């Protein structure tokens, strides 16, 4: 069984998107949302259980939803959970009478349709035409009530003109529901000064709010939708260098002097800009500081100096072969290298007497020459 909860106003899809875009409220029941719901139901699921706690809404949208539900071919049941007012009462009638229920303390309201008029003017002819259209719409609603409840037309019209809530007992008598759902838990009453009260007795009469447009105008404290649009500016949230949030009332583009913003103070932004907010308004935007020519030249000189130091280091650098030799010496050790060196000391040479007597110095021969001479004499 698919569950359908009608717990918010009946609105057009445009109004539902307006609520979501401008107020950040994803709410409202529209034809599109009901169509999406029906498309999501499994083909083998033939039952829809509707729970209603709704104050009504757009008449044309309500009719389209009513027709869509009845055309679904599903077995529909509906229960009034809290209040079922205005056009929501038509959605209740999408279920057959034997499968319409109400909670003990629920309420039902039916009334003549009305049109909200905020600004402008109308001629007598326009008023007459408007009156005819409104009467036609009233007759259409009355016909539906009579057909789906079996109530007397005169009774229905009289109740609609009263424009007040009725309890489930009266709703059952009129045929809007067939059964009052008994509570699962026992009803708890409280006695004060020997008088017993319950929720039903203390319930106050509640008037149905006007259309969605009235709610928007009331929210923005304006008289026309044009004024409301000017007030409902989407706020952008910017993150400062310190990680705090700066909120600017602007739909798109960069913040400008004169934009509403909060909180007050001087805010440094990641791009180097500084935004000053005073009294909830941007009073100054300071662009990011740029480097002067002197600073640029100083940086260039520093770069050149670093290049020279790098070239000097390259000049004094040793080759790979030299580095390998030094590493090998380090590995063997200086002391061990000294121990491995030769201790041979050649014997002193003795000159002949004739050479000593000669005034001319005797030419010093190399060891190679001496060796050759010795070999020659032995042969």
Catalytic residue numbers, as ranges:
86, 111
The Cα angle at residue 127 between residues 123 and 131, in degrees rounded to 5? 175
CB 195 within 8 A of CB 98: no
| Residue 76 · residue 50 · CB < 8 Å | yes
Closest C-alpha among 368, 367, 373, 376 to residue 349:
367
| Long-range contacts at 100-103 (CB < 8 A, ≥ 24 apart) | 100/176, 100/177, 100/178, 100/179, 101/77, 101/177, 101/178, 101/179, 101/180, 101/181, 102/168, 102/171, 102/172, 102/176, 102/177, 102/179, 102/180, 102/181, 103/79, 103/168, 103/180, 103/181, 103/183
Q: Can you tell me the distance from the alpha carbon of 7 to that of 54, in angstroms, rounded to the nearest whole number?
A: 5
Sign of the Cα torsion 17, 19, 25, 28 reads: negative
Angle between helical axes of 59-71 and 31-40 (0-180°, round to 10): 20
- 98 DSSP 8-state letter: G
Cα distance between residue 61 and residue 97, in whole Å: 22
DSSP state of 156: H
**Euclidean distance between CA atoms 18 and 16, whole angstroms:** 5
For residues 69 and 186, give the distance between their C-alpha atoms in angstroms, rounded to a whole number.
35
212's tokens:
């969605």
Beta bridge partners of 10: 29, 57
Rg (CA), the chain: 50
């Amino acid at each position: 069984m698919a569950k359908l909860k009608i717990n918010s106003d009946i609105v057009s899809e445009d109004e539902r998107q307006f609520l979501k875009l401008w107020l950040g409220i994803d709410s409202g029941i529209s034809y599109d949302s009901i169509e999406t719901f029906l498309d999501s139901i499994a083909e083998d699921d033939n039952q829809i259980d509707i729970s209603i706690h709704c104050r009504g809404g757009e008449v044309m949208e309500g009719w389209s939803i009513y027709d869509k539900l009845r055309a679904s071919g599903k077995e529909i049941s509906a229960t009034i959970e809290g209040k079922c007012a205005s056009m929501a009462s038509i959605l209740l009638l999408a279920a057959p009478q034997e499968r319409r229920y109400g909670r003990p303390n629920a309420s039902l309201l039916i009334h003549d349709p009305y049109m909200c008029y905020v600004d402008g003017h109308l001629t007598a002819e326009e008023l007459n035409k408007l009156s005819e259209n409104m009467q036609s719409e009233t007759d259409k609603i009355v016909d539906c009530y009579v057909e789906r409840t079996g109530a007397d037309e005169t009774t229905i019209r009289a109740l609609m003109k009263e424009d007040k809530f009725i309890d489930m007992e009266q709703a059952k008598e009129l045929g809007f529901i067939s059964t009052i759902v008994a509570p699962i838990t026992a009803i708890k009453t409280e006695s004060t000064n020997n008088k017993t009260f319950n929720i039903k007795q203390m319930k106050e009469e509640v008037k149905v709010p006007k259309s969605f447009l009235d709610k928007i105008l009331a929210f923005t404290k304006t008289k026309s939708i044009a004024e409301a649009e000017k007030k409902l500016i989407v706020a952008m949230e910017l993150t400062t260098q310190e990680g705090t949030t700066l909120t600017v009332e602007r739909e798109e583009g960069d913040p400008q002097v004169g934009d509403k913003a909060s909180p007050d103070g001087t805010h440094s932004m990641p791009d180097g800009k500084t935004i000053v907010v005073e009294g909830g308004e941007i009073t100054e935007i300071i662009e990011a500081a740029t480097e002067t020519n002197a600073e640029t030249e100083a940086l260039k000189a520093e770069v050149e100096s670093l290049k020279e130091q790098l070239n000097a280091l390259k000049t004094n650098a040793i080759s790979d072969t030299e580095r390998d030799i030094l590493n090998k010496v380090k590995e063997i050790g200086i002391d061990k290298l000294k121990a491995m060196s030769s201790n041979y000391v050649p014997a002193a040479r003795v000159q002949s007497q004739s050479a000593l007597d000669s005034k001319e110095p005797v030419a010093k021969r190399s060891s190679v020459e001496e060796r050759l001479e010795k070999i020659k004499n032995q042969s």
